[in-house]
Structure 1
């Protein structure tokens, strides 16, 4: 293992190197054995809430046209679909009936984690005077291809792998933006979050995973395949990544990760307000500078209702992503236990 850093200078506000020169886990390092023990104390009733949408929701691909919903089909054997297939067809007398299936989907279509390699930034990490794509801790997310074929093996660094191996179990904290601001489209600033935290008497601890409830996933879940899904583009709260005070709060809060039940946690910009900079400033701040994964399209509404009825905001969260090496985003079925 190398002991030298992958960079000569780091971006302003970045924590590169703080967890070691080869670290690819970021602020999830703060969720250690002691943090898990403390988080488990949030379990008081033993009730659990699954926080994933069905992975075919939204039922129309309107939020990101390059991502496709799942397609399920039976597996095949010698041209025959193996679904409700009597094994007696192959072995006379066998009573087994077998079904196998195959799924093709974009792993970031529905409830998912962004790995740290999902978004990088053009930055002169080597001090050479030339900016180049670089991610958290100075790593370059280079896709590696099998030399003897066209098979793409995914990211060589900053993939979902460290997150999946770590497990991601810790103290979750819900900030209920929907309760305070409703379902109208709204850019949420640091001042808004500060007001909600104060009103709901929310306490954040180092290493927490903060979940923002906006209601968008709930709206998506209740749309049929035939309904107009354009409403999802112009509804509910999204964090204002252009608010420098919000980004500073994320840094100072010492939380390990952010998740939301909306499309991207932050409101995506389609134009720049200055000559140069990120279209996704919160993604750059969290994924690139701080090593904080982002969860998107989690289904938080049922949990939010229960927590408010019981005057609570914290819970034990288990949220490991699917472990497929090389991916820069992966489905997850988070479970909150209260």
Structure 2
């Protein structure tokens, strides 16, 4: 294995690393704080131009106040104030702006692994306001740009006459993802930005205020089922980013047989610690994928040129994704 030349161990190889390094990508990437976006090479960015065929552009972010109420019990909608200092002037600011309150990308300091700590062994006292370690500014100053592939899980299940059960918080399996890829004759490449279209956001936003509160209190949301197979698959396919149009990418609550019940006890068995703190794999959540999915159904093309440009906030744990797709 020569990580400097872009050759990385598979997931089983990661598990064979010694001590705290077992199951992690710590120290493997040339730019330590960048994580799996390092899989995108300059040639990969150039090749992604081939995804632009129609010149159609899609913004993949919902409004900052779209999820009010949302699933989060703490994050609320920002308060927008416009002011003026004279009749010809207007300026504005936001109060209570939760950077992960709507469409977002989780940074590498968003999660600490219960058993081994923050990504790359970054000390806890470095994860605070104003320090740059693992901060979201890394991807703002060097945006994530490359080929995106949309996996239409909603469309695949609808075609089978088995709509995804969003109200019940259905866990979605890796088998479903692979079946949807096969049905569209899709293949992935190292450095791809993988987008999972479940239909959850449009379903949730279409509910009444009362039903949104009911779903919020149920603490159930459809998403990927927690499994070592999924995390191994994500790493072995060399995805740069995993994104989805649902609350947490993975299902809520974690499945009863989650392999992370003990290693991620503070997260009740969720995969976030494995993906973010151990693999360095950024997660996109609450992405606006419906319009893009419908366009792709009409064209029969499932890839796009993707840009992700988070806010340049030193030490941010996450940010609005500011994601764009060009097909």
Shorter-chain TM band: 0.7 to 0.9
Supply the distance in 2 between the matched residues of 1:219 and 1:266 (Cα, whole angstroms): 17
Deviations, residues 177-199 of structure 1 (Å, cap 9, x unaligned): 11123341321112111111111
Distance 1:271 1:223, change over 3 A: closer
**3-state secondary structure, aligned to 1:286:** helix
Query: Paired residue for 1:197?
Result: 181
Matching of residue 318 in structure 1 with residue 314 in structure 2? no
1:284-299 aligned at under 5 Å gives the runs 284-299=273-288
Q: Are residues 1:328 and 2:320 paired?
A: no
Which one has the bigger helix percentage? 2
CA-CA distance at 1:142 after TM superposition:
3.0
Residues 167 and 319 in structure 1, CA contact (< 8 A), matched pair in contact too: yes
Higher strand share: 1
Q: Provide the C-alpha distance between the structure 1 equivalents of 2:185 and 2:271, rounded to a whole number of angstroms.
A: 25
Among 233, 237, 242, the residue aligned to 1:258: 242
Match of 2:118 in 1: 135
Deviation at 1:237, TM superposition (A): 3.6
C-alpha separation in 2, matches of 1:333 and 1:224: 27
In 1, the alpha carbon distance for the partners of 2:77 and 2:111 equals 21
Match of 2:59 among 50, 69, 72: 50
Residue 36 of structure 1 corresponds to 45
Note the C-alpha offset of 1:255: 0.8
SS at 1:118 equivalent: coil
**TM-score, normalization: structure 2?**
0.83
**Is the contact made by 2:27 and 2:120 (CA closer than 8 Å) also made in structure 1?**
yes
> Where does the alignment leave 5 or more consecutive residues of structure 1 unmatched?
1-6, 75-81, 88-95, 125-133, 146-152
Counterpart of 1:205 in 2: which secondary structure? coil
Q: Residue 310 and residue 271 in structure 1: after superposition, are their counterparts in 2 closer, same or farther (change >3 A)?
A: closer
Partner deviation per Cα, 1:308-338 (whole Å, 9 max, x = no partner): 1111111000111111111101112211000
Any conservation in 2 of the 1:142–1:155 contact (CA below 8 Å)?
A: no
Q: Is the 8 A contact 1:177 1:237 kept in 2?
A: no
Change (3 A) 1:19 1:270: closer
Deviation at 1:25, TM superposition (A): 0.3
| Structure 2: gaps spanning 5 or more residues | 1-16, 158-162
Distance 1:272 1:121 in 2: 20
Report the alpha carbon displacement of residue 161 of structure 1 after superposing the two structures with TM.
Answer: 1.5
Partner of 2:77: 69
Deviation for aligned residue 1:144: 6.5
Aligned-residue CA RMSD (Å): 2.5
**TM, length-normalised to structure 1:** 0.80
| Corresponding residue for residue 277 of structure 1 | 263
For the pair shown, the structure with the greater C-alpha radius of gyration is 1
Q: Give the Cα separation in 1 of the matches to 2:255 and 2:295.
A: 39
Contact 2:149 2:303 in 1 (8 A): yes
